[in-house]
């Protein structure tokens, strides 16, 4: 077989002994010559192709008369044949401003010889948009003899752009934050605007039900008085798109009545329904945020911000009408005990119950606010009765029995009241005075109603002044110690001393603990005062030892606040290290009620003190609520019998029995026991016979300065009081 020459393309392969092979080029040439179409055939082909193109194609002469038009143009203009259009102009077919615009563009193309491409214009006939292109029509010499135009229907594209713009407009409005009612109306109006011939309505569920109401409607829907029932009863003519909520539910539906059925339109309307859902969610979220800004999240009651604003309006009306207004502080008694024993969830439920009970008693025209914890503020306008009977009913409502976490409870509350004009003219004054009255109600035993008295304000001012004096006393170290010796009645020896603090006031002289310790505990100053007492006591005990006196234990009272301090053990260790006192000579005294506040925490701290070598005593034993099983868990060295059991001995048989029981209990637990407040020989004799030989009280010595203690300790042992 012969290879093809360079440049030839072999069409077929034949044996070497046949004729020269035929190339593809030659075959195409022969085929072309054998099937040469006529000019008419070519014209028919071209005409057929142009008539099957959906675009509009035409040619015009210099006068704007049609020379040719494809079938799309002919039919669009309501004609049947191209011959019907030849010789006509756009003005002849449909005179309009658009025809003038098109003629001007075509004249410009013919005059300049430059094409005009990509011009958008409304269709001359019917609705929609066209993309038009024109080029000059030239003869064989290149002379411009007319114009050739081609137009493409871009109505669908323009609608898509319009829908995208509308969607973007809606999303932008939602992003900025909208008022719901105007937004829904704007959506309905916009749909009718961007989709001609469309009626639209937004249907939303009524609150708490699946029933619909008309939230918004387009102008045509409003004009036709369309109702939800009309839409729901005609599902064939109204198409609904679900308006979903952020929690997976549905707010309602977007209903549209439209003749167009393009898939892109359904996608757009689905997106609009989703956007409406987002807007509604944001509206509800904004309402919730606004509500929470002025209401308590737990109970839904107004918070202090809303209370202040509404109370100002109430006081202004009262000032204009001379109507009486009362501001009331209400606090649930012992609420912390409920929280600690039943848990915070039960405590929260209890607060809701109390809030509802109070709300029912005061009605809608008055105010109740929860300002935190278990404290409520009420603002009441007087009707036909006085405020106190009204408050009594509120207190009784709070006290109605209830069951919480399987436990039957009956609450009490403390109420303080201040009246407008009488006890203050501003909200600030009324708040302060009602608060003071409420605290006085608590001080008076709780479960009571206290009306403000100006004496309370004077006491509060004095208390504030005293607090400042006490603060300065801490800074100036104005506290001194007196010591009350503890005596063994058998040997007559001093076996210990209790350190008792006194405030050496610059003008008032020596102030006793009962007059400033409660204030110190309330203000938190008890912590630095207690630390100073601890350092001074350890230092004095070590000083007595340096003077050659026999070592004795020194007892130091520790307050609940000081005992609960995180660094309490470090404070004790620091005081011992600073003084050089051996820990065995320090005894920390804590009350029984203090230990019972947090038994497990108390045991842990007591073991920490024991690890230092410090001993522990329960002060005022018998006044608390510890059980024998609990008492056994405390690492104690001594019980101190409270003076209240000693005072009426030997006249009170009950006190004698209780005291004997305490002594017996101490023995069974292998604890030392000492009696406080012993003032008579009869009391001392009874204690000795009952087995308690250590006493502390005025019978032996009152609290005295360190110098006098030194003198007593140097004297020979006194004779036993038991003889």
- 586 — phi, psi (to 5°)? -110, 130
Question: What is the pLDDT of the chain when averaged over all its residues?
Answer: 84
Q: How far apart are CA 201 and CA 206, in angstroms?
A: 15
**Is pLDDT above 50 for 197?**
yes
pLDDT, greater one: 39 or 354: 354
- Under DSSP, the state recorded for 550 is P
The string of pLDDT tens digits covering residues 591-621 is: 877 777 778 888 999 999 999 999 999 887 7
- Under DSSP, the state recorded for 54 is S
**Is pLDDT above 60 for 498?**
yes
Structure tokens at 13: 């392969």
**Is pLDDT above 90 for 510?**
yes
Mean pLDDT for the stretch of residues 105-132: 77
> Judging by beta carbons within 10 Å of its beta carbon (0-12, 13-18, 19+), is residue 506 exposed, middle or buried?
exposed
Q: What integer pLDDT is reported at residue 174 of this predicted model? A: 65
> Rounded to the nearest 10 degrees, how much is the dihedral formed by the CA atoms of 303, 309, 313, 316?
120
pLDDT, greater one: 200 or 695: 695
Mean pLDDT for the stretch of residues 549-559: 93
Nearest to 259 by CA among 346, 195, 304, 310: 195
Nearest to 367 by CA among 447, 430, 320: 430
Q: How far apart are CA 501 and CA 516, in angstroms?
A: 10
The string of pLDDT tens digits covering residues 269-323 is: 888 888 888 888 888 888 788 888 888 889 989 998 899 999 999 999 988 888 8
Give one word for 303, left, alpha or beta, with left for phi > 0 and alpha for psi -120 to 50. Answer: beta
Q: How far apart are CA 700 and CA 684, in angstroms?
A: 10
What is this structure's pTM?
A: 0.52
Q: How far apart are CA 253 and CA 241, in angstroms?
A: 5
Residues 6+ away with beta carbon under 8 Å from 355: 299, 300, 301, 368, 370, 376
Nearest to 95 by CA among 69, 71, 72, 64: 64
Q: What integer pLDDT is reported at residue 163 of this predicted model? A: 66
- Under DSSP, the state recorded for 48 is H
CB atoms within 10 A of CB 628: 9
Mean pLDDT for the stretch of residues 115-135: 72
The string of pLDDT tens digits covering residues 327-358 is: 999 999 988 888 888 888 899 999 999 999 99
**Is pLDDT above 80 for 406?**
yes
Q: How far apart are CA 267 and CA 265, in angstroms?
A: 5
Preceding peptide of 650 cis, ω within 30°: yes
| Percent of the chain with pLDDT strictly greater than 70 | 86
Q: What integer pLDDT is reported at residue 230 of this predicted model? A: 84
How many helical (H) and strand (E) elements, i.e. helices and strands, does the chain have? 27, 25
Q: What integer pLDDT is reported at residue 162 of this predicted model? A: 64
Mean pLDDT for the stretch of residues 685-698: 92
Q: What integer pLDDT is reported at residue 14 of this predicted model? A: 38
Q: b/e per residue, 188-213, with b = 16+ CB within 10 A?
A: bbbbbebbeebbbbbbbbeeeeeebe
pLDDT, greater one: 21 or 405: 405
Please tell me the least confidently modeled range out of 190-194, 412-416, 688-692: 190-194
pLDDT, greater one: 240 or 188: 240
Give bridge partners of residue 483 from the DSSP assignment.
499, 704
| Complete DSSP assignment for 158-216 | HHHHHHHHHHHHHHHHHHH---HHHHHHHHHHHHHHHSTT-EEEEEEEPTTSS-EEEEE
Decide if 692 contacts 621 (C-beta within 8 A): no
Residues 6+ away with beta carbon under 8 Å from 69: 56, 57, 58, 59, 82, 85, 86
Nearest to 528 by CA among 480, 445, 471: 471
Q: What integer pLDDT is reported at residue 459 of this predicted model? A: 77
The string of pLDDT tens digits covering residues 442-487 is: 988 889 999 998 887 777 778 888 889 999 999 999 999 999 999 9
In terms of residues, how long is the chain? 723
The string of pLDDT tens digits covering residues 284-295 is: 888 788 888 888
Reduced to 3 states (helix: H, G, I; strand: E, B; else coil), residue 331 is strand
Nearest to 220 by CA among 244, 250, 197: 197
Q: What integer pLDDT is reported at residue 455 of this predicted model? A: 81
Mean pLDDT for the stretch of residues 666-695: 92
Instruction: Give 160's pLDDT tier (boundaries 50, 70, 90).
Output: low
Reduced to 3 states (helix: H, G, I; strand: E, B; else coil), residue 623 is coil
Separation of first and last alpha carbons in the chain? 154
Q: How far apart are CA 441 and CA 395, in angstroms?
A: 13
Reduced to 3 states (helix: H, G, I; strand: E, B; else coil), residue 641 is strand
- 53 — phi, psi (to 5°)? -75, 130
Mean pLDDT for the stretch of residues 121-148: 80
pLDDT, greater one: 627 or 305: 305
State the number of CA atoms in the 13 A half-sphere of 165 facing the CB.
10
**Is pLDDT above 80 for 171?**
no
Mean pLDDT for the stretch of residues 210-218: 82
Map tokens 């109390």 to a residue: 354
Q: What integer pLDDT is reported at residue 17 of this predicted model? A: 44
Decide if 24 contacts 9 (C-beta within 8 A): yes
Give bridge partners of residue 451 from the DSSP assignment.
417
Map tokens 């501001």 to a residue: 327
Reduced to 3 states (helix: H, G, I; strand: E, B; else coil), residue 692 is coil
Nearest to 695 by CA among 640, 657, 619: 640
CB atoms within 10 A of CB 534: 25
Instruction: Give 126's pLDDT tier (boundaries 50, 70, 90).
Output: low
Spell out the alpha helix ranges (H) of 484-598.
517-523, 526-546, 560-563, 568-579, 592-597
Q: How far apart are CA 231 and CA 252, in angstroms?
A: 13
**Is pLDDT above 80 for 718?**
no
The string of pLDDT tens digits covering residues 75-96 is: 888 888 888 889 998 888 877 7
Q: What integer pLDDT is reported at residue 281 of this predicted model? A: 84
Map tokens 């042992």 to a residue: 717
Reduced to 3 states (helix: H, G, I; strand: E, B; else coil), residue 325 is strand
Preceding peptide of 565 cis, ω within 30°: no
Q: What integer pLDDT is reported at residue 208 of this predicted model? A: 63
- Under DSSP, the state recorded for 481 is E
Decide if 562 contacts 526 (C-beta within 8 A): yes
Nearest to 499 by CA among 554, 559, 563, 561: 554
Structure tokens at 275: 């956007």
Q: How far apart are CA 577 and CA 558, in angstroms?
A: 19
Instruction: Give 11's pLDDT tier (boundaries 50, 70, 90).
Output: very low
Nearest to 642 by CA among 626, 630, 633: 626
Instruction: Give 1's pLDDT tier (boundaries 50, 70, 90).
Output: very low
CB atoms within 10 A of CB 149: 22
Please tell me the least confidently modeled range out of 54-68, 282-296, 657-671: 282-296
CB atoms within 10 A of CB 102: 22
Instruction: Give 674's pLDDT tier (boundaries 50, 70, 90).
Output: very high
Decide if 243 contacts 204 (C-beta within 8 A): yes
| Percent of the chain with pLDDT strictly greater than 90 | 38
Structure tokens at 479: 């506290």
Q: What integer pLDDT is reported at residue 166 of this predicted model? A: 64
């Amino acid at each position: 077989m012969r290879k093809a020459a360079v440049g030839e393309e072999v069409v077929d392969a034949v044996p070497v002994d046949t004729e020269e092979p035929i190339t593809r080029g030659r075959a195409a040439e022969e085929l072309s010559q054998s099937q040469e179409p006529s000019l008419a055939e070519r014209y028919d082909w071209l005409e057929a192709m142009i008539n099957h193109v959906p675009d509009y194609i035409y040619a015009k002469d210099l006068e704007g008369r049609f020379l040719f038009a494809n079938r799309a143009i002919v039919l669009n203009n309501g004609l049947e044949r191209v011959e019907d259009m030849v010789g006509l102009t756009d003005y002849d077919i449909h005179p309009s401003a658009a025809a003038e615009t098109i003629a001007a563009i075509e004249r410009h193309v013919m005059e300049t010889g430059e094409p005009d491409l990509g011009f958008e214009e409304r269709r001359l006939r019917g609705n929609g948009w066209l993309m038009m292109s024109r080029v000059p029509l030239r003869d064989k010499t290149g002379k411009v003899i007319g114009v050739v135009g081609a137009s493409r229907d871009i109505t669908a594209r323009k609608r898509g752009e319009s829908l995208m713009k509308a969607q973007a407009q809606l999303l932008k409005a939602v992003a900025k934050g909208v008022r719901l009612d105007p937004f829904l109306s704007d959506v309905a109006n916009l749909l009718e605007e961007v989709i001609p011939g469309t009626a639209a309505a937004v249907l939303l569920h009524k609150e708490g039900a699946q029933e619909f109401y008309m939230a918004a409607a387009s102008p045509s829907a409003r004009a036709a008085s369309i109702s939800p029932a009309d839409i729901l009863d005609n599902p064939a003519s109204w198409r609904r798109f679900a308006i979903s909520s952020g929690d997976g539910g549905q707010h309602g539906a977007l209903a549209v009545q439209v003749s167009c059925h393009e898939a892109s339109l359904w996608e757009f309307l689905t997106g609009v329904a989703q956007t409406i859902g987002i807007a509604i969610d944001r509206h509800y979220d904004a309402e919730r945020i606004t509500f929470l800004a002025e209401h308590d999240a737990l109970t839904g009651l107004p918070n202090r911000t809303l209370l202040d604003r509404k109370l100002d309006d109430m006081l202004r009306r009262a000032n204009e009408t001379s109507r009486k207004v009362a501001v009331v502080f209400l606090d649930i008694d012992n609420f912390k005990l409920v929280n600690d024993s039943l848990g915070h969830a039960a405590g929260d439920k209890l607060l809701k119950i109390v809030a509802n009970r109070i709300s029912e008693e005061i009605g809608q025209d008055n105010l109740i606010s929860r300002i935190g914890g278990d404290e409520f503020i009420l603002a009441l306008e007087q009707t036909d009765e006085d405020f106190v009977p009204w408050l009594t009913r509120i207190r009784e409502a709070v006290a109605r029995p209830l069951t919480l976490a399987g436990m039957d409870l009956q609450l009490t509350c403390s109420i303080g009241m201040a009246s407008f004009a009488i006890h203050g003219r501003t909200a600030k004054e009324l708040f302060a005075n009602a608060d003071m009255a409420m605290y006085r109600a608590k001080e008076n035993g709780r479960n009571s109603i206290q009306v403000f008295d100006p004496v309370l304000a004077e006491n509060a001012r004095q208390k504030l002044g005293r607090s400042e004096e006490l603060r300065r006393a801490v800074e100036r170290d104005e506290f001194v110690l007196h010591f009350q010796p503890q005596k063994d009645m058998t040997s007559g020896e001093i076996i210990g001393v209790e350190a008792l603090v006194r405030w050496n006031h610059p003008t008032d002289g020596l102030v006793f603990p009962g007059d400033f310790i409660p204030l110190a505990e309330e203000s938190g100053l008890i912590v630095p005062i207690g630390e100073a007492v601890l350092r001074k006591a350890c230092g004095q005990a070590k000083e007595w030892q340096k003077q050659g006196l026999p070592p004795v234990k020194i007892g130091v009272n520790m307050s609940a606040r000081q005992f609960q301090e995180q660094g309490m053990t470090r404070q004790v260790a620091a005081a011992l290290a600073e003084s050089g006192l051996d820990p065995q000579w320090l005894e920390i005294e804590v009350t029984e009620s203090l230990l019972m506040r947090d038994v497990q925490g108390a045991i842990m701290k007591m073991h920490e003190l024991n690890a230092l070598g410090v001993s522990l005593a329960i002060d005022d034993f018998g006044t608390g609520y510890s059980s024998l099983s609990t008492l056994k868990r405390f690492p104690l060295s001594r019980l101190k019998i409270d003076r209240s059991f000693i005072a009426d001995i030997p006249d009170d048989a009950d006190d004698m029995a209780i005291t004997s029981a305490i002594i017996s209990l101490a023995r069974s637990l292998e604890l030392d026991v000492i009696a406080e407040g012993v003032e008579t020989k009869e009391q001392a004799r009874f204690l000795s016979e009952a087995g308690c030989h250590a006493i502390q009280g005025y019978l032996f010595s009152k609290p005295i300065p360190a110098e006098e203690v030194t003198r007593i300790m140097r004297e020979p042992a006194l004779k036993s009081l038991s003889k």
